[in-house]
Amino acid sequence: MHVNADLEELLSGYDNTHYLDWKGYSEGHSEYFVADGIHLNETGREAYAEFVFESLCEFYDERIEAEKQAAIEELENSRMKTTSFFGNELLVSLYGELSGRYPDAVFSADSESDSYDIAAALTDAEGSSLLGDTVFIAVDKSVPVDQEILDRIAGFCSGRSITVAGENVADISSVPDGITLINLGSVADASCYLADGIHLNEEGCRKYAAAILGEN
């Protein structure tokens, strides 16, 4: 009895050892032992083997579950530490400049849709755990950035920093907390565009990227 107690106390000091309480498990089961009450009979040996097996299974099940939860939390935390970029065709144009500064960032650009919905894009990203704690949004003239849009985006600001950069920014009465608003229309001049006057040249991309990242 003292040996069991001493053994349990000794093993409790080590993370890689485990005490299996066979004494407690077998208490009241005289059918496990021969006449001396110490040595196991055939029934006892089978019970002992089953006890050890079940105890190890329980331990490893708990360990695997703990490791699984730890892996899930680590993945979620790593995702939350990422920088995410969202936008339409403008973001495609700026990808080279932005990805050079943020090579590990998540980029989600929609150059196909005629009407890009910023809030819907953030909702989809949040559902797939791709919405990081630092978010940049870059949209061209086709997407008006007004008070309604900013108020909808504000719902994603909890624990996040969100920068909204647009070429078509309306008069805003109040920028919600957690959002940085950048009017790209005031950043570029004629020298920033290609001959078509629409698409950015290299200099324009550099200026836009610097403005979006707050490097100006």
**CATH number of the domain where residue 164 is located:** 3.40.50.1110
Same domain assignment for residues 95 and 186? yes
Q: Is the pLDDT of residue 8 over 80?
A: no
* Cβ pair 182, 171 in contact under 8 A: no
Share of residues in the chain with pLDDT > 70 (%): 93
Closest Cα partner for 144 from 172, 120, 178, 109? 172
Question: 145 versus 131: which is more confidently predicted?
Answer: 145
Same domain assignment for residues 192 and 97? yes
Residue range 180-198: mean pLDDT, rounded: 89
Same domain assignment for residues 94 and 72? no
Taking only the tens place, the pLDDT of each residue in 63-111 is: 888 888 887 777 655 554 588 999 999 999 999 999 999 988 989 999 8
Task: Identify the domain boundary among 24, 54, 78.
Answer: 78
Task: Identify the domain boundary among 78, 107, 138.
Answer: 78
Q: Is the pLDDT of residue 1 over 70?
A: no
Same domain assignment for residues 89 and 160? yes
136's torsion region: left (phi>0), alpha (psi -120 to 50) or beta? beta
* Cβ pair 153, 174 in contact under 8 A: no
* Cβ pair 107, 99 in contact under 8 A: yes
Same domain assignment for residues 112 and 74? no
User: What are residue 108's DSSP bridge partners?
Assistant: 86
Taking only the tens place, the pLDDT of each residue in 16-36 is: 777 888 888 999 999 999 999
- Bridge-based pairing of strands 83-87 and 161-166 is unpaired
pLDDT given at position 46: 94
Give the number of domains in the chain.
Answer: 2
Taking only the tens place, the pLDDT of each residue in 144-187 is: 999 999 999 999 988 889 999 999 998 899 999 999 999 998 88
Burial degree of 28 (CB within 10 A; 0-12, 13-18, 19+): exposed
Same domain assignment for residues 95 and 202? yes
Query: Whole-angstrom Cα distance, residue 216 to residue 197?
Result: 23
Same domain assignment for residues 188 and 102? yes
Task: Identify the domain boundary among 40, 59, 78.
Answer: 78
Same domain assignment for residues 176 and 102? yes
Same domain assignment for residues 55 and 115? no
Q: Is the pLDDT of residue 12 over 90?
A: no
Give the burial string for 97-116 (b: 16+ CB within 10 Å, else e).
bbeeebeebbbbbbeeeeeb
Same domain assignment for residues 65 and 96? no
Same domain assignment for residues 65 and 166? no
pLDDT tier for residue 9 given thresholds of 50, 70 and 90: confident
Look up the domain containing 47 and give its range.
2-78
Same domain assignment for residues 90 and 112? yes
